[in-house]
Amino acid sequence: MFVARIALTVCLTLGVAGGTAMALSRTPENQDAAAPISSLPEGEGQALTAEVCGQCHSVGMFANQRKSRDEWNATIGRMIEKGMEAEEDELYAISDYLTEKLGKSDQAASIPS
């Protein structure tokens, strides 16, 4: 009984604070539309990467990953095997973007701006 009342209080508090966000995310259509592009860091190549890498799955599935250039290139290679289509110069741009924005922290820091 006591535990239940605490849980209810927490729910109500969160409901007031996050009222707008909860109202938005409750609609299923919004969830898919809102997540993909905004989950990639801004920068040159963001739109291209979102477009090419978002064809088959959400870009959110890899936006939290951190890889070296070799590892991202290997990922790009695997996606090509799965049927990804892109021009060669687009692949280089995507590789640059992923390495710079979703690189391992020590590497990302060493890239001159």
Residues that bind ligand HEC (CB under 6 A): 52-53, 55-57, 62, 65, 75-76, 78-79, 82-84, 94
Q: What are phi and psi of 66, to 5 degrees?
A: -130, 120
The DSSP code for 41 is P
Instruction: Provide, rounded to whole angstroms, the least separation between the CB of residue 70 and ligand HEC.
Output: 13
Instruction: Please report how close the Cβ of residue 31 comes to ligand HEC at its closest, in angstroms.
Output: 19
The smaller minimum CB distance to ligand HEC, of residues 64 and 113, is found at 64
DSSP symbols for 51-102: HHHTTTS-GGGTTT----HHHHHHHHHHHHHTT----HHHHHHHHHHHHHHS
Shortest Å, Cβ 4 to ligand HEC? 39
20 or 64: CB nearest ligand HEC: 64
Retrieve residue 68's tokens. Answer: 């070296």
Choice between 25 and 55, CB closer to ligand HEC: 55
